[in-house]
Each structure stands twice: as C-alpha cells, then as structure tokens.
C-alpha cells in the first residue's frame, strides 16, 4: 500500500473506490482472471474498511465467520464461531498478501469527485489531495456503513470532556474509573458496553429504543474441530453451507410471513426475564415493536452488564448536552467525563460526500434526491460504466453480506468484459431501473421492516434504500449474468 502510486499514465481499466471486503473481493477476482489494470483508492491510511474502522472494545462479527468470509478464500482456522474484529482484520490483510494486492492500493486517497467524460468514455476522478485518475469503469465499494452519524443534540459541541464515535474509538482515552455516557443501543453499543462497564465508575446508557438482544451461539472452536477442518477443508465448507441454509431460512419470517416472528418474541421475553430480575429495568429493555423490524442483536454479556450497580439505563429522552454532561427531558443532568456515540452511520447517503456526475453533467445527489436506487443495486441510469457494490437495497437482515458481494462480483466482471467488445459504455435503461425498484419497494412493504418501527434501512422520507427484500439465492439468480437488453450499449 502506498500513496506514491503514479497519478496517471494511461487510463486504467477499472478504478475501485474503497478497500473493504467489497473492493478487495472484486480485486481478488480480477487478479484471479489475470487482470492487473486496476487501482483501489482508499481514503484511510490502510485498507480494511469497516473492520479497520470499528476497532472498539468487543467488536466482533454477528454473522458466523465461515459465512462471513470469501468462499474463494476459505479460512479453516477461525478461533471462534463469531470472529473478533482483530481476526477479521487479519484475514483482510491475509487476502491482500495472498493476492498481491498491496501495489494496487493507493491509501490516503479520498475521492472528492468523479465525472463521466462522454466523448472519451472515461471516468475522470479527483482525490481530495488533488491527484487525478481516469478509468474506463468506476466501481464504488464504499459500503453502506462508513460515515459515522453523530446525534443532532443541542449543545453537543459544548461538552468539555472527551467525546468520540464507536467507529472512531479513542484508544488513548483511559475509561478506568471515569463517568461515562453512551448514546445508542444498536449493534455496536451492545458489543462495547459490556467491555467498558466493568472498568468505569459510572455508566449512563442513553437508550432511545430498546433492541431485541438474543443469546449469541458463540464459542471457541475445539482443537479437534480445527484439526478436522485443516485436515479436511471440505468440513469447513460443509459448516458454511449449513450456516447459509440456517440463516437463509430465517428470511421466510423477514419478508414473506412477518407473523412468524411473533412466537420468537415470547422466547425473547422469557430470555429477558431470566437475564434481568428487576421489573423496572426489564420494562425499560422491552421493545414495543415487532422482532426483526430493527436489526436483531445477539450477545451473551449485554444484559449481564446492564444489571451491574454502576450501570444506569436512561430511557428518558436527551434534551441537551452541557459542558459537564447530559440533561434529559425531565431536567436531570448527569455529569460525565467521557461521551461515547454508539449512534450508527449515515447509511442512506450512498457515495456521499463524493460528487459524482454522469451523462450531461447529471449529479448523482440530484438523481437520488428522493432516495438512492440502482438497478440490482449495481447500475444507475445516466451513470454509465459506474458499478456499485453493496449498493442500494442490497443490505440484509438475515444472512451474510459477503454472499451478496459474491453475487455482484461476476455481474460486474461480465460488464467489464463487455467493455472489451467494442462497447464504449453501458447505461442501464431508465424504465428497467424504475421497474426493478418498484418491485423491490413493493416486496419491502410486506416485510418485517415495515411493521412499525424506525430503522436505518429507510431514508428520512420513508423510502427503503438499504435492504434487499428477498432470499439471497434469488438475488444471485437475478445477478447471474447481465441482460444486455437492460442496458443501452453505446458503441
Ligand atoms: O448503529 P445503529 P450501530 N439520540 O444505527 C441511537 C452493523 N454492525 O453502529 O434505535 C438517542 O444500529 C439509535 O436509537 P434508535 C449492523 O448492520 C454490524 O450500532 O434510532 N439515540 C440506536 O440505538 C448494524 O445494524 C456489526 O431509536 C440515538 C443507536 O443510536 C449497523 O452496523 C456490529 C440518536 C444506533 O444504532 C449499525 O450499528 C456493529 C439520538 N439522537 C454494527 N441517534 C456486526 O457484528 C441514534 N441513536 C457485523
């Protein structure tokens, strides 16, 4: 990895933005095809995407590692069923080394703008440090969860103590003996709260909406299992296949028959009653919306952390932040030394803050003013030869996003191959994109995400921009190969 890669010699064949699982996976696939004419621009100082950024205490994957890793780069020695962040980050680095990707990654290169130069049929890309690149195809591999979202609370800037977001964890801030406030109780917070609860003198956990937190079926792999998988790698594949089927089956309740979630709520309530004896705290932690509407969380140490005497779950809404602490709607001020935001990401602002301009100078923000959408989550009308990985409506509530990425890679590779057949650019036809999105939105209407809760899967106007509303094998069928009649092929 370096930031001294020459800016521009000849136009590249492919320019990839982002070096997380999406960007690296596509690069690995390109390498496997003997393709070398690509470059990855990475805004950070090293590759790794979400698994570089989210190194907060307790960060781990909530999808089993055999499933949350590339099928074409299997790993048989994960130490646990659900790998911790450090191990996933190490896997990322291992992928880079094995596929010799380091020379093709340019770090500290944040894309500021990209525009499609129609006469030349090239994407012209400029980074914030003023470097420029051009490429026949541009691939956005920025993910949906890369821009931390800070709460919009009056007085936030006044707070005098240390304050940071979970995805920008300040490891230099020693929390031992400190009074700490945490805002948010999502997937990130439920992982770091148990880790910090034991060392702080006081932890105020500001909860706006309680989450469903179910037991995490996690454990270390035994030496026998590890030896077995190393001796017979197909056993790892078998486990992966089983995990896939198990997770995929849950899709029935997510988007076909949300009523199936109801019995699981009863199981959850029993679990909560076992974990939290205090009825007042239990009531605070009981969601009033259907299971699955927000992401279902898994943890074995979250509820045990909350029953500790130094931990307070604050259900009262936050009114303002002062120099000393947080004031809730009832006028009570809680003084704290450190404020941690577990408030998630700007998930519906795909590709922001990059300025992307397509045919005729069309601005992507303009095209997406009512909410992001793309054909199969990959192509956007008016933005030829732009391919989005993990784009609009390709996030999942029930299975591994790696499977979705692996559906997108061959599709994008087929499109890239088409550009070698005398096609200057591919532009998805508007009616095709519109029809696709109508179907996606209709399917989501029936899903559990529409059963009465707020979630980050929809934008402020209520349009579902993030989730895929079907089985992952059905998405794979849709993306098996491009239908060229869906595109205007400009020769
Ligand atoms: O963020 P979130 P996250 N005042 O958006 C609250 C993935 N992930 O970083 O629910 C008060 O889920 C907000 O409250 P509410 C995973 O896909 C994966 O935890 O909106 N509270 C919520 O409680 C996940 O879904 C792993 O009412 C405010 C919390 O902050 C996604 O990342 C691990 C507030 C935000 O929760 C995001 O998770 C971690 C305000 N103004 C994350 N604003 C894996 O294991 C927000 N909140 C793979």
DSSP H helical ranges for 187-278? 189-197, 223-231, 234-249, 251, 261-275
Do 330 and 181 lie in a common domain? yes
> Do residues 139 and 16 make contact, with C-beta atoms less than 8 angstroms apart?
yes
Task: Please tell me the distance from the alpha carbon of residue 155 to that of residue 148, in angstroms, as a whole number.
Answer: 19
Which one of 326, 341, 356 terminates a domain?
341
* Dist. CA 187 → ligand 1 center (Å): 6
Task: Decide if pLDDT at 4 tops 80.
Answer: no
Do 279 and 316 lie in a common domain? yes
What are the tens digits of pLDDT across the range 209-221?
Answer: 999 999 999 999 9
Cβ count within 10 A of residue 389 = 27
| Residues forming beta bridges with residue 428, ordered by sequence position | 487
Mutate which of 61, 85, 184 to test ligand 1's pocket (most atoms within 8 Å of Cβ)? 184
Q: Whose CA is nearest to atom 6 of ligand 1?
A: 184
Pocket of ligand 1 (CB under 6 A): 61-63, 145, 151, 153, 166, 183-189, 206, 208-209, 295, 318, 342-345, 454, 456
CATH number of the domain that 202 lies in? Answer: 3.50.50.60
Q: Whose CA is nearest to atom 37 of ligand 1?
A: 344
Residue 386 lies in a domain: yes
Two structure tokens written together for 483: 């239908």
Measure CA of the first residue to CA of the last residue in the chain; give whole Å: 36
Mutate which of 58, 164, 168, 188 to test ligand 1's pocket (most atoms within 8 Å of Cβ)? 188
Cβ count within 10 A of residue 254 = 24
- Three-state SS sequence of 306-374: HCCCCEEEECCCEEEECCCEEEECCCCEEECCEEEECCCECCCCCCCCCEEECHHHCEHHHHCCCCCCC
Two structure tokens written together for 468: 């895929």
Do 405 and 296 lie in a common domain? no
* Dist. CA 342 → ligand 1 center (Å): 6
Do 319 and 423 lie in a common domain? no
Model pLDDT, residue 304: 98
> Do residues 320 and 153 make contact, with C-beta atoms less than 8 angstroms apart?
yes
77 CB-near residues (< 8 Å, 6+ apart): 226, 229, 230
Give the mean pLDDT of 249-265: 93
Residue 72 lies in a domain: no
Residue carrying the six token digits 């057949």: 421
Do 259 and 180 lie in a common domain? yes
> Closest Cα to residue 79, out of 96, 93, 61?
61
Give the mean pLDDT of 346-368: 95
DSSP state of 252: I
Do 265 and 295 lie in a common domain? yes
Give the mean pLDDT of 274-278: 98
Task: Decide if pLDDT at 9 tops 70.
Answer: no
Task: Decide if pLDDT at 6 tops 50.
Answer: no
Chain centre to alpha carbon of residue 94: 21
Domain that residue 180 falls in:
156-211+250-341
Chain centre to alpha carbon of residue 143: 6
* Dist. CA 227 → ligand 1 center (Å): 37
- Which atom from ligand 1 is nearest to the alpha carbon of 456? 5
Do 299 and 367 lie in a common domain? no
Do 444 and 353 lie in a common domain? yes
* Dist. CA 152 → ligand 1 center (Å): 14
Residue 186 lies in a domain: yes
- Which atom from ligand 1 is nearest to the alpha carbon of 295? 25
Model pLDDT, residue 444: 95
What are the tens digits of pLDDT across the range 397-415?
Answer: 999 999 999 999 999 999 9
Q: Whose CA is nearest to atom 1 of ligand 1?
A: 344
* Dist. CA 190 → ligand 1 center (Å): 9
Residue 291 lies in a domain: yes
Mutate which of 50, 148, 293, 343 to test ligand 1's pocket (most atoms within 8 Å of Cβ)? 343
Residue 472 lies in a domain: yes
Which one of 311, 341, 371 terminates a domain?
341
Two structure tokens written together for 182: 């945490």
Task: Decide if pLDDT at 175 tops 60.
Answer: yes
Mutate which of 85, 208, 467 to test ligand 1's pocket (most atoms within 8 Å of Cβ)? 208
Sign of CA dihedral 328, 333, 334, 336: positive
Cβ count within 10 A of residue 18 = 25
Q: Whose CA is nearest to atom 7 of ligand 1?
A: 187
Angle (deg, nearest 10), helices 85-98 and 21-32: 30
Task: Decide if pLDDT at 2 tops 70.
Answer: no
Do 337 and 378 lie in a common domain? no
Q: Phi and psi of 415, rounded to 5°? A: -65, -40
* Dist. CA 185 → ligand 1 center (Å): 6
Give the mean pLDDT of 71-93: 97
Residue 29 lies in a domain: yes
- Which atom from ligand 1 is nearest to the alpha carbon of 189? 19
Residue 19 lies in a domain: yes
Do 274 and 331 lie in a common domain? yes
Which one of 280, 310, 341 terminates a domain?
341
- Which atom from ligand 1 is nearest to the alpha carbon of 185? 23
Residue 115 lies in a domain: yes
Do 205 and 284 lie in a common domain? yes
What band does 460 get if pLDDT is binned at 50, 70 and 90? confident
As for how many domains the chain has, the answer is: 2
Model pLDDT, residue 482: 98
Do 168 and 312 lie in a common domain? yes
């Amino acid at each position: 990895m370096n930031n001294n890669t020459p800016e521009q010699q000849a136009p590249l064949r492919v320019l990839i933005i982002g070096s997380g699982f999406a960007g690296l996976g596509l690069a690995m696939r390109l390498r496997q095809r003997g393709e070398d004419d690509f470059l990855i621009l990475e805004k950070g100082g090293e590759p790794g995407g979400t698994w570089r950024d989210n190194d907060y205490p307790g960060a781990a994957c909530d999808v089993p590692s055999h499933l949350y890793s590339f099928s074409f780069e299997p790993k048989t020695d994960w130490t646990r069923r659900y790998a911790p962040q450090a191990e996933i980050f190490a896997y990322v680095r291992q992928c880079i080394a094995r596929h010799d990707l380091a020379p093709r990654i340019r770090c500290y290169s944040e894309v500021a703008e990209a525009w499609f130069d129609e006469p030349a049929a090239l994407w012209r890309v400029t980074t914030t440090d003023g470097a420029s690149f051009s490429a026949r195809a541009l691939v956005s591999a920025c993910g949906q969860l890369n821009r931390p979202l800070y709460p919009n609370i009056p007085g936030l800037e006044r707070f005098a103590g240390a304050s940071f977001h979970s995805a920008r964890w300040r490891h230099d801030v020693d929390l031992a003996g400190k009074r700490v406030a945490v805002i948010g109780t999502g997937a990130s917070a439920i992982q770091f709260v148990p880790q910090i609860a034991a060392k702080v003198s006081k932890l105020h956990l500001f909860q706006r909406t309680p989450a469903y937190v179910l037991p995490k079926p996690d454990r270390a792999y035994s030496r026998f299992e590890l030896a077995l998988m190393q001796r017979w790698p197909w056993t790892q594949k078998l486990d992966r296949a089983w995990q896939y089927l198990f997770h995929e089956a849950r899709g029935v309740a997510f988007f076909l028959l949300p009523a199936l979630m109801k019995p699981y709520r009863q199981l959850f309530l029993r679990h909560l009653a076992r974990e939290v004896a205090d009825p007042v705290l239990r009531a605070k932690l009981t969601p009033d919306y259907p299971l699955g509407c927000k992401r279902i969380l898994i943890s074995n140490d979250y509820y045990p952390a909350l029953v500790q005497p130094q931990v307070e779950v604050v259900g009262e809404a936050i009114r303002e932040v002062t120099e000393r602490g947080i004031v809730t709607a009832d006028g009570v001020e809680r003084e704290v030394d450190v404020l941690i935001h577990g408030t998630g990401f700007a998930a519906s602002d795909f590709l922001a803050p990059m300025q992307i301009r397509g045919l005729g100078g069309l601005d992507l923000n303009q095209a997406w003013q009512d909410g992001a959408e793309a054909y199969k989550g990959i192509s956007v009308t008016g933005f030829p030869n732009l391919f989005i990985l993990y784009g609009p409506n390709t996030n999942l509530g029930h299975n591994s996003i790696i499977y979705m990425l692996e559906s997108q890679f061959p599709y994008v590779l087929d499109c890239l191959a088409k550009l070698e057949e005398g096609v200057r650019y591919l532009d998805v036809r508007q009616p095709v994109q519109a029809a696709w999105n109508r179907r996606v939105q209709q399917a989501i209407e029936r899903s559990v995400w529409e059963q009465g809760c707020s979630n980050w899967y929809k934008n402020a106007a209520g349009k579902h921009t993030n989730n895929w509303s079907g089985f992952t094998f059905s998405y794979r069928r849709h993306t098996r190969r491009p239908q060229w009649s869906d595109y205007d092929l400009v020769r």
